[in-house]
Chains A and B, each alone.
Chain A
Amino acid sequence: MDLVVQIMFGVTGLLILGAAFMVVSVRNIIHAALWLITCFFGIAMLYLLLQAEFLAIVQILLYIGAVAVLVLFAVMLTRQIDDPDEPVLFQRWRSTLLITAILFAAVLVPTIYNHNWLIFADPQPAFAGPRELGFAFMNAYLLPFQIAAVLLLAALVGAIIIAMEDQEQRRVRVLTLAEEVALRGEREPSPPTRPANPQPASSSSNPTPPPAPEQAGEGA
Chain B
Amino acid sequence: MISAVPLEWVLILASGLFCVGLFGALSRRHAVSMLMGIELMLNAVNINLVAFWRYTQPDEVGGMIFALFVIVVAAAEAAVGLAMAIAIYRTWQTVNVDSVDSLRG
**Footprint of B on A, CB under 8 Å?**
1-3, 5-6, 9, 13, 16-17, 20-21, 23-24, 29, 32-33, 36, 39-40, 43, 46-47, 49-52, 54-55, 58-59, 62-63, 66-67, 70-71, 73-75, 77-78, 80, 82, 87-90, 92-93, 96-97, 100-101, 103-104, 108-109, 112-113, 117-120, 123-128, 132-133, 136-137, 141, 144, 148, 151-152, 154-156, 158-160, 162-163, 165, 180, 183-184, 187
State which size class the interface on B falls in.
Answer: 35 or more
Q: Are B59 and A184 in contact (CB under 8 A)?
A: no
Shortest distance between the CB of B24 and any CB in chain A (Å): 3
Q: Are A159 and B83 in contact (CB under 8 A)?
A: yes
Q: Which of A67, A103, A117 contacts B55 (CB 8 A)?
A: A117
16 cross-chain CB contacts under 8 A: A17-B17, A32-B33, A43-B43, A49-B5, A62-B71, A67-B74, A80-B30, A80-B94, A93-B23, A119-B7, A119-B56, A120-B55, A126-B54, A137-B65, A162-B84, A162-B86
Within 8 A of A (CB), among B31-50: 31-33, 35-37, 39-40, 43, 46-47, 50
Q: Are A101 and B30 in contact (CB under 8 A)?
A: no
Q: Are B36 and A148 in contact (CB under 8 A)?
A: no
Q: Are A112 and B8 in contact (CB under 8 A)?
A: yes
**Footprint of A on B, CB under 8 Å?**
1-5, 7-13, 15-24, 26-33, 35-37, 39-40, 43, 46-47, 50-51, 53-56, 58-61, 63-65, 67-69, 71-80, 82-87, 89-90, 93-96, 98
The residues of B that contact A21 with a CB separation of less than 8 Å are 20
**Closest 7 A-B residue pairs measured CB to CB?**
A24-B24, A155-B76, A2-B4, A163-B83, A5-B4, A123-B2, A159-B83
Interface residues of chain B: helix, strand, loop or mixed (majority): helix
Q: Are B36 and A117 in contact (CB under 8 A)?
A: no
Q: Which of A36, A125, A141 contacts B39 (CB 8 A)?
A: A36
The verdict on A32 contacting B19 (CB below 8 Å), with A88-B30, A120-B56, A163-B83 known, is no
CA distance A108 to B8 in the complex (A): 11
CA distance A18 to B27 in the complex (A): 18
The verdict on A17 contacting B13 (CB below 8 Å), with A32-B36, A63-B71, A159-B80 known, is yes
